[in-house]
A and B are shown apart, each in its own frame.
Chain A
Amino acid sequence: MTAASVPAAQAANRPQALRQSLQLSRRAVSSMLRQPQVLVPSLFFPLFFCALNAAAFDRITGAEPEFAAQFDSFLDFLLPATVLQGVLFGSTQAGTEMANDIEIGFFDRLLASPVSRTSILVGRLAGGALLGAAQALFFTGILTLFGASVKGGVGAVAVLVVVSSLLAVGIGGFGVTLGIRTGSAEAVQGAFPLIFVLMFTSSAFFPRDLMSGWYRAVATYNPISWILDSLRDLQTLGWSAEDALVAIVTAAGLAVLSIVVALGALRRRLRTTT
């Protein structure tokens, strides 16, 4: 193959890479469906904490005029946070599965096959994105049944689904990076508390307007707060293109960043193992 024909060959391989990505995505999804016990924590814990916090903090926050002006109840406030919490918990699974593939040698078999290297990554993250979208619909459905409202209508729900998928890719990408670099599922699971920290230092569970001091400053600069605050405005104040854009662009930025980092980790691993 001459140097001039390389771009042409890459262009010809593009549909193949897409097919491979789809096949690997399907594998990632069926692997999740075969182990429903792995999904249980990412469904149970967000609902448990939502029910708990709604009952614990409804009165306290309801007595604050600033809060009561925007939210009918603490359940309303918690809806986007519950969705994102589920997505964040679930998206670590992509990293764990990648590390498992390395541990059992499947990753090496993929490398030995003529599969596109990018497809390995895309396939794994696409599975997480699908799970994120399903979680968004699941949690919104359940919480709506219990009285939460979505004043932004179908548009707000659509944004919530898109943001959940992007965030699953974003956080999943960092998990995959860790999985590729360590090759240890235990190490990926060990990073789980960092997600807890990311959520607790945002406006996920506590209204930012009522925070004070350094805690408020940290929450203000946490990108998860930017996403959540925009989603909350969409949900409780009604449709706004600006809010939708802020939420989607922030989540997409995280997704792009994590894919770049994960690709770097993949390249480094390929260099050291071949």
Chain B
Amino acid sequence: MTAVDDAGGRVDLGTARTGSMAIVRMMVGRNVRGIRRQPATFIPTLVMPIFFVITFSGAFGFAGRVFGNGNALSWYAPMAIIQGAAFAGVTIGFSTARDFETGFFDRFLLAPMSRLTLIGGALGAAVLRSVFTTTAVLVVATIGGVAVPGGALGVLSLYLAALGVSIAAALWGLGLVYRVQSTNVGPIIQVGIFVSIFLSTAQVPIAAMSGWLASVARVNPMTNILRMARAGFVPDQIAPPAGFGVGWSEMWPGLVALAGTIVVLGLFAIRGMRRLTP
């Protein structure tokens, strides 16, 4: 059984012989083709993080010492990468909302395949998009003078954090879209992402904050995720590793925060999906 959407994207919706992984691959492929046909839907995901890296580091270059290694760009580049990964995840929610409005998602629901496969395909696409944005922003930041003293492990922890955030953001978007089934939910999805990122150490370290923001940032899981993402870029301010490198003490709180967020938002998305097919 094959479905063709309005944009010409073709997806084999599965026969008895088509496995879940094959369907996930096809859905990811459809998403990639969607980017090629409508690049305008993806370009902001790429441009905005690069823009943030440039503006924030340009504006706060004078306060380099506050960011640990004297270079504001090293502080802001991982933040912009995490933000780009979150946007990459969120756009999956938007494209799913469009599928609802055009009726294409109903055809997915009629197909003889596991509903979890639909979520899996969307998450696969989110991961692929975030790999692309992460690499692009990292290249721009490197050209701009960012060094990674943490080495390969530092880059790995950055990618791990970015991929985790893209999955969490996609689950958040999907959970809302499955409930509202309209592109009108877009602003709510974006506000959720903006608030969770900016109410953390996205802009400055906790020590530099004043008032209520420091209290909120301390309990926001995004703070630990950003700490993990920055592990290879700036010295950790809470528990510096011996020498300059990526320490386990910087990694495990981020991994726990990511796992917890993904589990909670995963349940949110799955429950939303179950409402669609009682």
Where the two chains meet, the residues of A that have a C-beta atom closer than 8 Å to any C-beta of B are: 41, 48-49, 52-53, 55-60, 64, 190, 193, 196-197, 200-201, 205-206, 210-216
Contacts of B48 in A (CB 8 A): 193, 196
B60 touches A55 (CB 8 A): no
B59 touches A56 (CB 8 A): no
B208 touches A60 (CB 8 A): yes
Interface: B51 (CB within 8 A): yes
B208 touches A213 (CB 8 A): no
**Would A200 and B203 be within 8 Å (CB), given that A55-B209, A60-B60 are in contact?**
no
B208 touches A59 (CB 8 A): yes
Where the two chains meet, the residues of B that have a C-beta atom closer than 8 Å to any C-beta of A are: 40, 44, 47-48, 51, 54-55, 58-63, 66, 187, 195, 198-199, 203-204, 208-214
A56 to B203 CA separation, bound complex (whole angstroms)? 7
Chain A interface SS verdict (over half): helix
Contacts of B214 in A (CB 8 A): 55
A211 touches B204 (CB 8 A): no
A211 touches B198 (CB 8 A): no
A213 touches B61 (CB 8 A): yes
**Would A57 and B55 be within 8 Å (CB), given that A41-B187, A52-B213, A210-B62 are in contact?**
no
- Taking the closest CB of chain B, its distance from the CB of A110, in whole angstroms, is 28
A212 to B60 CA separation, bound complex (whole angstroms)? 9
Contacts of B211 in A (CB 8 A): 55, 58
A138 to B254 CA separation, bound complex (whole angstroms)? 40
A215 to B51 CA separation, bound complex (whole angstroms)? 12
* One of A56, A58, A193 near B44 (C-beta < 8 A): A193
Contacts of A60 in B (CB 8 A): 60, 63, 66, 204, 208
A193 to B49 CA separation, bound complex (whole angstroms)? 12
**Would A215 and B63 be within 8 Å (CB), given that A56-B203, A60-B204 are in contact?**
no
A262 to B236 CA separation, bound complex (whole angstroms)? 53
Most central of B54, B58, B198, B203 by chain A CB within 10 Å: B58
